[in-house]
Structure 1
């Protein structure tokens, strides 16, 4: 059980007395890091949670589309995730019910070859404990992708973790990233759709309906 971390206050991170979501939105700690990526973009944290949420999506980091729109999962990956969860667009973006707390709140950018850069570890070290402590009503967590799984569960492979989903459910569901790049993984592992998704949808509906 997480304790109550002290509010973080550093230059460029907002007022120390402000709620954590406001301080995250004001964070510019990674400005030098992002300035030397291929995208040369400025930090723009995508913050999507409120204290009353009951379902947590622990994800990786916003993509380029989320960076532009300010809305997480507003892309084909989000369409697939919503289908996995069995929720509507309106339900998914209701911050009073569903919180989205990624390992990195900003789009990390691309490297010189055009590949995604992993979320900077400093983001989770700076903000994650305090963000999680601000969500005391979470009943179920969806842990998406290897970086988030390592933080929540320690080292291990994605396939093995997802296959062992019963060890963690219903309080936690381990999921592969819903990126369309993982379509081949889904085809190789049909048990995910046959076993995990029905249980996931039932639990999501149970939590959202209170």
Structure 2
């Protein structure tokens, strides 16, 4: 009887090993595409020449913590939690086209409805606080302000995949939940295009 029990135990060991390998294989099938997609997204290697995105894809995505250290409350960019963010540069030379970016992003944020809590607007302020800026912020009460050294920001912009002659105020950026700027927008992009991109990324990322 003991021998029969031992034989039975021995016969189940190969089955367990096969089962373990099957589990590893299935996990690999599921995980590999995700890992490859993440590598392509972060590095830009293998990125297709044309995409369905409305914005300008940055290749590779650019981490923004090199300049976005702390807002006016002393909080880091990611301190407010897992959110997608719109980074809009501003300085004293911000003209009507520049100010329109603030208006467009505000209206898009409103149009997101209940999904708006997953998105945050952040002004990259390249100048000291002025009465003009204080007045502007009254029109945008949900806008975070991130003071940034203009030279540091210019260097960051120059190291991106955007054209070298890009004006410091020309583009604003869609930043993912990990703090990587992945798409840029300018005056040629309207609110509907921005809204389409944001809805797409929200659809394909988990809500916490």
Q: TM-score, normalised by structure 1?
A: 0.31
Q: Which has the higher contact order (CA 8 A, sep 6+)?
A: 2
TM normalised by structure 2 equals 0.32
Larger gyration radius, structure 1 or structure 2? 2
Q: Which has the higher helix share?
A: 2
